[in-house]
Structure 1
Amino acid sequence: MSQELHKTVLLDEAVDALVTDASGFYVDGTFGRGGHSGAILAQLADSGQLLAIDKDPQAIAYGQEKFAGEERLALYHGSFAELSDAVAGRGMSGQVTGILLDLGVSSPQLDEAERGFSFLQDGPLDMRMDTTRGMSAAEWVNTAEESEIARVFKEFGEERFARRMAGAICKRREEKPFSRTGDLAEVVKAANPAWEKGKHPATRAFQAIRIHINGELEDLQKTLASALEELKPGGRLVVISFHSLEDRMVKRYFREQEKGPQLPKGLPVMESQVPRTIRTIGKAIKASAEEVGGNVRSRSAVMRVAEKLPGAA
Structure 2
Amino acid sequence: MTSSEHEHISVMLDESVEMLVTNESGQYVDGTFGRGGHTRLVLSKLRDGKLLGFDKDPVAIEFGRKLEAEDSRFEIVQDSFANMLDHIPAVFGTEKIDGIMMDLGVSSPQLDDAERGFSFMNDGPLDMRMNPDQGMSAAEWIAVAAEKEIADVMYQYGEERFSRRIAKAICEKRLEAPITTTAQLSKIVAEANPAWEKGKNPATRAFQGIRIYINNELGDLEKGLEVAADSLKVGGRLVVISFHSLEDRIVKRFMKKMSKGPDLPRHLPIQNAHLDIKFKTVGKATKPSKDEVTSNVRSRSAVLRVLERTRD
Aligned residues of 2:67 and 2:74 also touching (Cα < 8 A):
no
Amino acid at match of 1:275: D
Aligned to 1:130: 131
State the secondary structure of the residue aligned to 1:52. Answer: strand
Rounded to whole Å, the distance in 1 between the matches of 2:118 and 2:102 is 20
- Tell me: CA distance 1:3–1:67, structure 2 relative to 1, closer, same or farther (3 Å): farther
Q: Give runs of aligned pairs for residues 1-313 of structure 1, distance below 5 A.
A: 3=5, 5-45=7-47, 47-93=48-94, 95-261=96-262, 270-311=271-312
- Equivalent residue pairs, number: 310
Give 1:132's aligned amino acid: D
Change (3 A) 1:267 1:283: closer
Residues 92 and 184 of structure 1: is their aligned pair in 2 closer, same or farther, counting only changes over 3 Å?
A: same
The alignment partner of 2:102 has SS state of: strand
Q: Deviations over 1:7-62 (max 9, x none)?
A: 000000000000000000000000000000011001000x2000000000110012
Partners of 2:285 and 2:164 lie apart in 1 by 34
Aligned residues of 1:93 and 1:230 also touching (Cα < 8 A) = no
Structure 2 stretches lacking a partner, 5+ long: none
1:57–1:264 CA distance, 2 compared to 1 (3 A): same
Distance of 2:123 and 2:186 partners within structure 1: 9
Cα distance in 1, alignment partners of residues 69 and 8 from structure 2: 19
| Mapped partners of 2:40, 2:310: distance in 1 | 28
Query: What is the deviation of 1:274?
Result: 2.6
Paired AA for residue 235 in structure 2: G
**Alpha carbons 2:27, 2:92 under 8 Å: kept:** no
Distance 1:105 1:280, change over 3 A: same
RMSD (CA atoms): 1.6
What TM-score do the two structures reach when normalised by structure 2?
Answer: 0.95
Equivalent position amino acid for 1:107 in 2 = S
Closer/same/farther in 2, CA of residues 180 and 83 from structure 1, 3 Å limit: same
Contact preservation (8 Å) 1:30, 1:103: yes
* Contact 1:261–1:275 under 8 Å retained in 2: no
Q: Secondary structure in 2 aligned to 1:140?
A: helix
Shift of 1:89: 2.2
Q: Secondary structure at the match of 1:279?
A: strand
1:116 touches 1:124 (CA, 8 Å); kept in 2? Answer: yes
Percent identity over paired residues:
56
Deviation (angstroms), 1:273: 3.7
Contact 1:102 1:241 in 2 (8 A): yes
Quick one: distance in 2 between partners of 1:10 and 1:216? 21
Distance 1:267 1:146, change over 3 A: closer
Q: TM-score, normalised by structure 1?
A: 0.95
Q: 1:93 to 1:267 in 2, by over 3 A?
A: farther
Q: Which runs of 5+ in 1 are unaligned?
A: none
For 2:8 and 2:265, the matched residues in 1 are separated by 50
Provide the rounded CA distance (Å) in 1 between the counterparts of 2:115 and 2:266: 58
Contact 1:141-1:149 within 8 A present in 2 as well: yes
